[in-house]
Amino acid sequence: MTTAQAEASTLTEPKTTTTVTGSVALLEGLIAEGTDTIFGYPGGAIMPIYDALYDYKEKLSHILVRHEQGGIHAGQGYARSSGKVGVVFATSGPGATNLVTGLADAQIDSTPLVCITGQVFAHLLGTDAFQETDVINITTPVTKWNYQVTDATEIPAVLAKAFYIARSGRPGPVLIDITKNAQLQLFEYEGYVPCEHIRSYRPKPIIRKEYIEQAAALINTAKKPFILFGQGVLLGEAEKEFKAFVEKSGIPAAWTILGAGAIPTDHPLNVGMLGMHGNYGPNVQTNACDVLIAIGMRFDDRVTGRLDKYAKQAKVIHLDIDPAEIDKNVKADVPVWGDCKETLPLLTALVEEKTYPEWLAEFRAFDKEEHDTVIQKELNPGTGEMTMGEVVNKLNELTHGNAIIVTDVGQHQMVACRYAKFNNTRSNVTSGGLGTMGFGLPAAIGAKFGAQDKTVVAIIGDGGFQMTLQELGTIMQTGIDVKIMILNNRFLGMVRQWQQLFHEKRYSFVDITSPDFVKLAESYYIAGKKISEREELISALEEMLNHKGSYLLEVMVAKEHNVFPMVPQGSSVSEIRLK
């Protein structure tokens, strides 16, 4: 038989098919996509999928959370620490609507998720059936793509498309709503084919080399260039390429909170954190540089302050995979579209090898002023109540900057981002754009499942912890090892800080009473300890880190302590306050 005859014979052979339910096809597709962990909560409308899951216990690990919002935040933490797509199951009605906050969080922070929701039978759609909600229209604004399946034959192709969209280009959350009849329906399954292309969807824009050349020319003639980098470096897995660019160009680089870890905190050209509670030098120098190079960041308002006073003296180069972000907030003189893993090497090849000792010395002068005015007092107060900063600093000394730090939202978040050391990529997991209180505990659970060889420390405020503390039940049932550190200042601290500084200390409903967190943890069979004295801190942290299994450490910190520096809302970044 000739080669041509063999090929023709192969083409005419019928495909192997098996008769399966839509639920089984879904699970087979998840396995084909490399899924190993699912976070979910069963219910009536998704029961056929859970029934099928009973036979897949050896291939798919299902983590039973205590609330669907906890499930999706756990999926986010898993995705952020592992670099894989997080997978979440929920039932219809309230199960689906409980995902909305997490979807919005994942959308703005570009976290790849595939969420599967059950739905009522197709013939009941639109009848206000029990636990029916229009999940497609509800989630359209907070997903990268969503789709409702009413026929089982669609499931393999729709799932493949969902994974492709979730992880490609600028990642994001995708939701598939599957009616109960489609879950139960038998059909001839021909196997799973991953999606590699969708007509009209271009995840990576075409790289225009003329813009690379223009960017290099601007950089090579700059006297005071400055790099701002964000999560796009991490999402593009471009850490090596970024480091090579920074080191060859010799340009000082500052990070957004989601960009932390793209290069180590202690790298000599890493000059600190941008934004409202960022470091003094990076904020002030934004309005002093002559060329501003933004890489994988979106010029969020917490980074820019007043746009009409932001970097007006600088030529702006903006590298981003999402063309919609370029010129959205800050006008770019040179737009560099594309995946930074691909664009950065092209740019590095054209930039001249340089150093900027005098320019870098200006940053160091600001560092010294910030250290003397803020940092020294925060990290080494000596007397009085403990500060959040000194707790985080002592944690650094014990973990050597190698732990995954998961934070909730509030003062403790800003302190942790400022003072924690991030020596490894994907080691800072926090809610950036949406600022979701309650994110920390479930996200830490997911982060540990995504990186089981890493120490995971959740740093949470007393307010945020009480929003999702039911997920202690998930820790209890799974036995996962998460270290939980509650920094308790007996206030909703960030709101209180603003009320003190801008509302004449009119503390309106920010004084929060908490339960006995240690006893609460013990009721879930989780060891714990509460401390309030500085002399206890090191030994308590060591006990937490060395304990086999999860551990809750409550640290009582100063009640009315503010996070500085701070750019007041409506001010320029160069108007940042040290006190």
d(CA 96, CA 442): 17
Report whether 105 contacts 113 (CB < 8 A): no
Active site residue 130: yes
Q: Which of 242, 252, 230 is nearest to 354 (CA)?
A: 252
Establish whether 107 is a catalytic residue: no
Known catalytic membership, residue 7: no
Phi, psi of 539 (to 5 degrees): -65, -35
Active-site annotation holder among 467, 485, 494, 544: 494
Task: Determine which helix (DSSP H) or strand (DSSP E) holds 472, and give its type and residue range.
Answer: helix 472-478
SS3 319: strand
Q: Yes or no: say if 521 and 529 are a contact pair by the CB < 8 Å rule.
A: no
d(CA 551, CA 544): 6
In terms of Cα–Cα distance, which of 266, 226, 249, 254 is closest to 354? 249
Encode burial over 116-141: b for 16+ CB neighbours within 10 A, e otherwise.
bbbbbbeeeeeeebebbbebbebbee
User: Hey, what amino acid is at 87?
Assistant: V
Greatest CA separation found in the chain?
Answer: 90
- Is 106:172 a contact under the CB 8 Å cutoff? yes
- Cα angle 119, 125, 129; round to 5: 80
Active site residue 485: no
Centroid of chain to Cα 401: 19
Q: The tokens of 192 are what? A: 């799973």
CA pair distance 479, 495, nearest whole angstrom:
35
> How far is the C-alpha of 460 from the C-alpha of 411, rounded, in Å?
9
Catalytic residue, candidates 68, 325, 378, 390: 68
Measured distance CA(162)–CA(88) in Å, rounded: 13
Query: Does residue 180 have an active-site annotation?
Result: yes
Q: Can you point out the beta strands (E) in 329-427?
A: 334-337, 404-407
Look up residue 472 and give its amino acid: L
What is the residue type of 136?
Answer: I
| Phi and psi angles of residue 552, each rounded to the nearest 5 degrees, phi first | -115, 120
Letter string b/e over residues 250-279, b meaning 16 or more CB atoms within 10 A of that residue's CB: bbbbbbbbbbbbbbbbeeebbbbbbbbbbb
Task: Dig out the tokens for 475 from the structure.
Answer: 């820790």
Q: Which of 84, 131, 377, 556 is catalytic?
A: 131
Which active-site residues does the annotation give? 68, 130-131, 180, 494
